[in-house]
Structure 1
Amino acid sequence: MGLTSTTTGVTQIITVHSDRIDAAMAIQFKEDMRRETDSGTDRVVLDLAGVEFIDSSGLGAIVASMKQLGDNRKLDLAGPQPVVEKVFRLTRMDTVFRLFATLDDALSATAD
């Protein structure tokens, strides 16, 4: 699982460099996210533009990553492909996460 991290202003951007977040990589994803977000900004944007598939284990890994951030930090999601976005909507996780069509949309939004 490949993740890269950059910080712009008060936002940390984590980009997923894999076309899948599924059961085979969920544990590694959580570990990588923990390492990348161990210390950082109050707002993290997870760039999912390259992810073409996510299953329930991948969804669980993203939720676990959000919880690991704690109450004072926020995890937003950017650039989900239609199939990935559909998973978030069907599971009602779109009420838990803010979903942005693009990374630019996420960066121009306020942290709320």
Structure 2
Amino acid sequence: MELTIDTTADATIIRVQAARVDAPVALQFKEEMRRITHARTGRFVLDLAQVEFIDSSGLGAVVASMKQLRSGQTLDLAALQPIVAKVFRLTRMDSIFAIHDEADRAGVKDRS
């Protein structure tokens, strides 16, 4: 499981470089997210554009990543593929996370 990082003025964009976030990689994903978010502050956008499948373990790892954030940190999601978006809708996690169409646009706060 590889996570890459892009930094904008308004957010740290964490890109998941894997087709699946499921039981075999959930623990590694959670630990990598903890390492990244512990070393930085502010807003994080998790780019799931490459992720074609997420199971309950993967969903739990994303939720755990949000719950371990410190005060002043937030986690948004972006670029969900249709099957992944459906999992978030069915579990009502779409009401917990801000979900954006594109990670790069989510990484920029509206300045108007």
Q: TM-score range by the shorter chain?
A: over 0.9
- For the structure 1 residues 41 and 10, does the alpha-carbon distance in structure 2 shift closer, same or farther, using more than 3 Å as the test? farther
Q: Structure 1: any 5+ residue segments left out of the alignment? A: none
Cα displacement (A) at 1:90: 0.4
Is the 2:76–2:97 contact (alpha carbons within 8 Å) kept by the matching residues of 1?
yes
Cα displacement (A) at 1:86: 0.5
Which amino acid in structure 2 is aligned with residue 86 of structure 1? K
Which residue number in structure 2 is paired with residue 21 of structure 1?
Answer: 21
Secondary structure, counterpart of 2:24 in structure 1: coil
Percent identity over the alignment is: 58
The two structures have a TM-score, normalised by structure 1, of 0.92
Q: How many equivalent residue pairs?
A: 110
Which amino acid in structure 2 is aligned with residue 88 of structure 1? F
Give the Cα separation in 2 of the matches to 1:2 and 1:73: 22
Cα displacement (A) at 1:6: 1.9
The two structures have a TM-score, normalised by structure 2, of 0.92
Is the 2:10–2:109 contact (alpha carbons within 8 Å) kept by the matching residues of 1?
no
Give the Cα separation in 2 of the matches to 1:2 and 1:102: 19
Which structure would you say has the larger RCO, counting Cα contacts within 8 Å and 6 or more residues apart? 2
Cα displacement (A) at 1:69: 0.9
Q: Structure 2: any 5+ residue segments left out of the alignment? A: none
Is the 1:33–1:65 contact (alpha carbons within 8 Å) kept by the matching residues of 2?
yes
TM-superposition CA deviations, 1:45-81 (whole Å, max 9, x none) = 0000000000000000000000111342110000000
Q: CA RMSD in A?
A: 1.2
Q: How does 1:24-103 map to 2 (within 5 A)?
A: 24-103=24-103
Is the 1:10–1:41 contact (alpha carbons within 8 Å) kept by the matching residues of 2?
no
